[in-house]
Amino acid sequence: MAKKKIDPIKEDLKKELEKLKKAKQKLEKKDKVKTKKIEKKDKVKTKKIEKPKKLTKAELKAIQEEEAKRKAEEERTYEEELQEQLSEDEIKNFIIAKLDMNRLIAKVCELLLDKEENGILQTDVWKKLKLSTKDGSRLSLKMEKMGYITRQKILKNGRWTYTLFIEKAPISFESITDAPCLTCTVEQKCSLENELPEPSPRNCELIEKWVLLQYSRKSKKK
C-alpha cells in the first residue's frame, strides 16, 4: 500500500497556526490575570473611599445641632403667622374674655421687671399667668405694639420661641397710694439738690418707711 504524501507547506502552516493559537491563549490568560488584579485594586480603592470616618461624640453632637438649627430656620413661629393674619388694630384691641387686660398687662410687666436684664421665656410667663399659647402669643404682640415689651427670637430645644424684655411699665395709681409726698407739708421746699437740714428725698424718713412698706406688701403677695 502506497504511503500518503505529506505536503511540507501545509505541515508548516499547521505548525504556525498551532503556535499562534498557543500564543493567543497565553496572551488571553495574561490579560485575564491582569484584569482581575485591576478589578481587585479598584475594589480596595472603592472600599477605602466609601468607608465613613468615625466621628467623635462632640462632632456628632455638633452635626445634630446644626441639622436641628437648619430645620428650625425653615419653620415659622406662631406669632409670625399671626402678624400676617391680623391687622395692627386687631392686635392692639385684643382682649381676653372675663379678664381685666390692664391688670394682666401690669402682672406681665411686674414679672419682667424682676428679670429686667435677662428677660423671661414667653412660655414661662404664660404658665405663671395660666394663659394658653394662643392668648399668650396675642398678648405679647399687643404689649409689643403698645411699647411695654420687646421680643427676642431664640432657638430653644430645636424650636423657635421668644424671650420677653421689659421696656416700660404701665402707670398704676396703686403704686403711689399712701405716698408721703402727696400730703407732705414741706413738699414745695423739698429738692434733690438740698443738703441737711433742708428737706430732700435723699434723707426723708417718711419716704424710706413707705418704700419698705411697699416692698413688704409685694413680698407677701409672692
What's the CATH code of the domain at 124?
A: 1.10.10
46 residue type, one letter: T
Host H or E run for residue 159: strand 159-166
Range of the domain at 202: 173-221
Res 122 pLDDT > 90: yes
Lowest mean pLDDT among 24-33, 68-77, 172-181: 172-181
pTM score, two decimals?
0.50
Helices (H), 75-163: 78-85, 88-92, 101-114, 122-128, 133-145
Confidence check: pLDDT of 5 > 60? no
pLDDT given for residue 217 in this prediction: 64
Same domain for 147 and 84? yes
More confident residue, 97 or 12: 97
Q: How many domains does the chain have?
A: 2
Domain annotation covers residue 31: no
Q: What is the pLDDT of residue 73?
A: 63
Residue 87: inside a domain? yes
CA distance 219 to 31: 94
Give the least confident one: 26-30, 120-124, 147-151, 152-156.
26-30
Instruction: Answer yes or no: are the C-beta atoms of 163 and 120 closer than 8 Å.
Output: yes
